[in-house]
Amino acid sequence: MLIEGASAVVAGGASGLGAATARLLLDRGASVVIADLNAEKGEALAADLGPRASFVEANVLEPDQVQAAVDAAAGAEGGLRISVCCAGIGWAQRTVSKQGPHDLEIFANVVKVNLIGTFNVLRLAAAAMAANEPDAEGERGVCVNTASIAAFEGQIGQAAYAASKGGIVGLTLPAARDLAGRGVRVATIAPGLFDTPLLAALPEDQREALGAGIPFPSRLGRPGEYADLVAAIVGNPMLNGETIRLDGALRMPPR
């Protein structure tokens, strides 16, 4: 799938991994719709990226809002060919602690945002892509989801987060099989420790310690490296139904 001349939607695209992806796709010739809850950051990024970028305020759990972002991308020149979902939230709480059992409402909310929200973006983007004319390879679109290495090595206190990200890994292959006949590919990236706004709030010594624990390169991942992998997935038609770890050979310890 060619990036140049395509239209893309990036959910959770106002900052971090999503913002880096939106910037790279635009640099490579796509038009990009940034979908995010943070209107201030999203509008500022779209203005910075220029006329081929636009912003749609969207909560990934709201079908009408996601549909509006998908429609905006589908209506751009080239049609919606690329969907990337980076939207998600984190939470840390033990299954049972001194305060009692894990809060069930919080567990459900993490799963809703991370897993159900990702599927909401996937299903609506794929439906729009299915109406595209196929390219020379028979492709109509590519959907890239974001999991985490916590899906495989969830740490203490990550039951909700790991479950939600594990669900994204689990849906990748069946979704790819579902959409194969329509020429739409599905792949998932499972990042390790990346230099995103979440980690930016930590003191510098803690950030350096986290980076030092990564075998190689011994540093936090850069959002642009995530974006590079998105571009590689889009460009390689054999990357389908797969979850790719992007973690510098890191395997998370229990805590």
Q: 3-state class of 61 per DSSP? A: coil
* Tokens linked to 11: 């959910």
At 142, give phi and psi (nearest 5°): -140, 130
| DSSP state, residue 219 | S
Percentage of residues in the chain having pLDDT higher than 90: 90
What pLDDT score does 57 carry?
A: 98
| DSSP state, residue 249 | T
| DSSP state, residue 115 | I
Q: How many helices (H) and strands (E) does the chain have?
A: 10, 9
Rounded to 10 degrees, the C-alpha dihedral 191/20/22/170 comes to: 0
Residue-wise pLDDT tens digits, 10-62: 999 999 999 999 999 999 999 999 999 999 999 999 999 999 999 999 999 99
Residues 6+ apart with CB under 8 A from 178: none
Residues 6+ apart with CB under 8 A from 38: 14, 15
pLDDT at 227 over 90: yes
Query: Which residue in this structure is represented by tokens 């500022």?
Result: 44
Which residue of the set 55, 161, 194, 226 is catalytic? 161
Q: 3-state class of 192 per DSSP? A: coil
Distance CA 49, CA 71 (A): 20
What pLDDT score does 199 carry?
A: 77
CA-wise closest residue to 110 among 70, 150, 142: 150
Q: Are 167 and 111 in contact (CB under 8 A)?
A: yes
What pLDDT score does 198 carry?
A: 74
**Bridge partners for 10 per DSSP:** 34, 84
Residue-wise pLDDT tens digits, 104-152: 999 999 999 999 999 999 999 999 999 999 999 999 999 999 999 999 9
Query: Which residue in this structure is represented by tokens 């959907």?
Result: 143
| CA atoms lying within 13 Å on the CB side of residue 26 | 24
CA-wise closest residue to 193 among 212, 218, 224, 220: 220
226 is catalytic: no
Residue-wise pLDDT tens digits, 185-217: 999 999 999 998 877 767 788 788 889 999 999
- Supply the pTM of this predicted model: 0.96
Distance CA 152, CA 169 (A): 9
Q: Would you say the C-alpha torsion 245, 248, 250, 255 has a positive or negative sign? A: negative
The radius of gyration of the chain from alpha carbons, rounded to an integer in Å, stands at 18
Percentage of residues in the chain having pLDDT higher than 70: 100
Which structural domains are found in the chain, ordered by start? 7-245 (3.40.50.720)
| DSSP state, residue 225 | H
Q: Are 110 and 102 in contact (CB under 8 A)?
A: no
